[in-house]
């Protein structure tokens, strides 16, 4: 499968995710990163994937060592203070009924968070997220596909969440219209309320400072070696004054890998077997491992 399509936009395939959440994650400080990443991908990931009602589950792992020139510095827009993350997670549903089924069973998932996460913050997107463009053919990436991906977190300059959201929508549309942008997905969550911390995972911090209550997240992807040139284009530079008027904070995170466990209420091989096992199966071309009888055996413990 080619990494990029020059003729097809796959954005419409995400439209069925009617309800979504974007969760920021920070690993426990004494858990080595490789242990954290392995546990999140291959232990926590398949556990979450099996919970009924789930329609969409994607882990985006961030690279703390890669922060040079991820996003342009703009006078008047500061980085979020003391903001380190190890990833961002999307958990989505095709309907409110499905979300209710998931929520009723999710305590088994949240009990696992304390093993690896110091802090998680689930921003609610009751109207879903929005994919404006997607020229990446693979609907279920599982690893580093060589695409230059970043997640940029923006904080509102004022208290008017609607005005901020309207600006971010227009800003995202402007960026998505540029040929250099391979993918752009916009998350405009509800204002976070510390009085109702989410997710309700025990022994994990879910509080945010005031500047991180009203945010937007832009997931944006480029071909390698094109991102910095894009920031110098007239199209991007023409947005800077408007950015200053509406954005107070901006911090970008480099994505080291994207791992898809559930799409359209269907387990991927990563969701069924674990991310690294799925990579091994694909690398060796082990078609028998994805046959219906093997998948049924893994799911049910018996051969039909």
3-state secondary structure of 220: strand
CA-to-CA distance for 55 and 14, rounded, in angstroms?
11
- b/e burial code for range 185-209 (CB count within 10 A of at least 16 → b): bbbbbeebeeeebbbebeebebebe
CA-to-CA distance for 102 and 54, rounded, in angstroms?
6
Q: CB within 8 A of 262, min separation 6: which ones?
A: 49, 54, 55, 56, 57, 268, 271
Let me know: does 111 contact 146? Beta carbons within 8 Å.
no
Q: Is the pLDDT of residue 278 over 90?
A: yes
Instruction: Report the largest interatomic distance among the alpha carbons of the chain, rounded to a whole angstrom.
Output: 64
Global pTM value: 0.95
Identify which of 11, 15, 7, 8 has the alpha carbon closest to the alpha carbon of residue 176. 11
Q: What is the pLDDT of residue 48?
A: 97
3-state secondary structure of 215: strand
How many secondary structure helices (H) and strands (E) does the chain include? 11, 11
Q: How confident is the model at residue 111 (pLDDT cuts 50, 70, 90)?
A: very high
- b/e burial code for range 89-125 (CB count within 10 A of at least 16 → b): bbbbbbeeebbebbeeebeebbebbeebbbbbbbbbb
Among 5-9, 66-70, 90-94, 252-256, the range scoring the smallest mean pLDDT is: 66-70
DSSP secondary structure letter of residue 42:
I
Q: What is the pLDDT of residue 301?
A: 86
Q: How confident is the model at residue 1 (pLDDT cuts 50, 70, 90)?
A: low
Q: For 264, phi and psi rounded to 5 degrees? A: 55, 45
CA-to-CA distance for 216 and 221, rounded, in angstroms?
17
Identify which of 235, 81, 225 has the alpha carbon closest to the alpha carbon of residue 153. 81
| Cβ neighbours of 10 (radius 10 Å) | 16
| Cβ neighbours of 59 (radius 10 Å) | 25
Q: What is the pLDDT of residue 106?
A: 94
SS (H, E, C) 115-148: CCEEEEEEEEECCCCEEEEECCCCCCCEECCCCE
Per-chain mean pLDDT for the chain: 95
The string of pLDDT tens digits covering residues 22-80 is 999 999 999 999 999 999 999 999 999 999 999 999 999 999 888 778 999 999 999 99
Residue 291's Cβ-count burial label (10 Å; 0-12, 13-18, 19+) is exposed
| Mean per-residue pLDDT, 96-125 | 97
Q: What is the pLDDT of residue 303?
A: 83
The string of pLDDT tens digits covering residues 123-139 is 999 999 999 999 999 99
Let me know: does 65 contact 278? Beta carbons within 8 Å.
no
The string of pLDDT tens digits covering residues 179-210 is 999 999 999 999 999 999 999 999 999 999 99
Tell me how far CA of residue 302 lies from CA of 48, 128, 201, 288, 293, in angstroms. Answer: 22, 37, 33, 16, 9
Q: What is the pLDDT of residue 110?
A: 95
Percent of the chain as helix, strand, coil, to the nearest 5: 35, 30, 40
Q: How confident is the model at residue 226 (pLDDT cuts 50, 70, 90)?
A: very high
Q: What is the pLDDT of residue 203?
A: 96
The sign of the CA dihedral 14, 17, 21, 25 is negative
């Amino acid at each position: 499968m080619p990494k990029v399509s020059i003729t097809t936009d796959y954005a419409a395939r995400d439209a069925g995710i009617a309800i979504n959440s974007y969760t920021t994650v920070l690993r426990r400080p004494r858990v080595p990163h490789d242990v954290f990443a392995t546990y999140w991908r291959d232990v926590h990931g398949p556990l979450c994937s099996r919970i009924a009602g789930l329609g969409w589950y994607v882990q985006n792992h961030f690279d703390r060592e890669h922060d040079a020139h991820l996003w342009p510095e703009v006078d008047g827009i500061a980085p979020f203070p003391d903001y380190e993350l190890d990833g961002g997670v999307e958990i989505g549903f095709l309907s409110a009924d499905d979300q209710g089924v998931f929520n009723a069973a999710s305590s088994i998932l949240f009990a696992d968070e304390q093993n690896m996460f110091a802090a998680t913050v689930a921003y609610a997107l009751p109207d879903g997220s929005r994919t404006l463009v997607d020229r990446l053919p693979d609907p279920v990436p599982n690893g580093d596909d060589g695409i230059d991906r970043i997640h940029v977190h923006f904080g509102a300059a004022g208290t008017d969440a609607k005005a901020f959201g309207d600006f971010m929508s227009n800003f995202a549309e402007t960026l998505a219209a540029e040929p250099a942008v391979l993918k752009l997905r916009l998350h405009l969550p509800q204002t976070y309320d510390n009085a109702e911390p989410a997710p309700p995972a025990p022994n994990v911090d879910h509080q945010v400072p005031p500047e991180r209550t009203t945010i937007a997240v832009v997931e944006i992807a480029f071909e390698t070696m094109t991102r910095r040139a894009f920031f110098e284009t007239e199209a991007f530079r023409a947005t800077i004054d408007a950015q200053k008027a509406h954005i107070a904070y901006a911090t970008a995170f480099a994505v080291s890998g994207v791992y898809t466990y559930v799409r359209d209420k269907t387990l991927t091989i990563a969701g069924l077997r674990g991310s690294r096992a799925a990579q091994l199966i694909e690398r060796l071309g082990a078609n028998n491992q994805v046959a219906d009888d093997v998948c049924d055996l893994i799911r049910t413990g018996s051969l039909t």
